[in-house]
Amino acid sequence: LSRLPEEFGNMTNLGKLNLCGSSIKFLPNSIGQLGNLKELNLCSTEKLSRLPEEFGNMTNLGKLNLCGSSIKFLPNSIGQLGNLKELNLCSTEKLSRLPEE
């Protein structure tokens, strides 16, 4: 699995998504439509290098695990995640910058 289809954003009642260890390279922009998503596990997604700017639309997200991912930067919109209580960035060696706000 290297990419989720754009239609993935139609699963608006999805509460948990675990893609740990997958070969995913891209998340669709429509992921921002997952307004009820509370937990997202992207650990060990070594081919995932970026998150879409629409990521900040997931306002109910409380737990985000990026441990071991290849994320290079976090989108500025991550600051809109007012319910985010847990953010795991361990072993994200390619992470070069954090949003200013």
The number of domains in the chain is 1
- Provide the domain limits for residue 45: 6-88
Q: Bridge partners of 64?
A: 40, 87
| Count of H-run helices and E-run strands, the chain | 0, 4
**94 lies in some domain:** no
CA pair distance 27, 48, nearest whole angstrom: 8
Nearest to 42 by CA among 69, 62, 16: 69
Predicted local distance difference test score (pLDDT) of residue 1: 80
Predicted local distance difference test score (pLDDT) of residue 3: 87
Q: Is the pLDDT of residue 98 over 90?
A: no
**57 lies in some domain:** yes
Q: Taking residues 75-86, report their average pLDDT.
A: 94
Query: Looking at residue 44, which CATH number applies to its domain?
Result: 3.80.10.10
Write the pLDDT tens digit of every residue in 51-77. 999 999 999 999 999 999 999 999 999
Q: Pick left, alpha or beta for residue 68 (phi over 0 → left; psi -120 to 50 → alpha; otherwise beta).
A: left
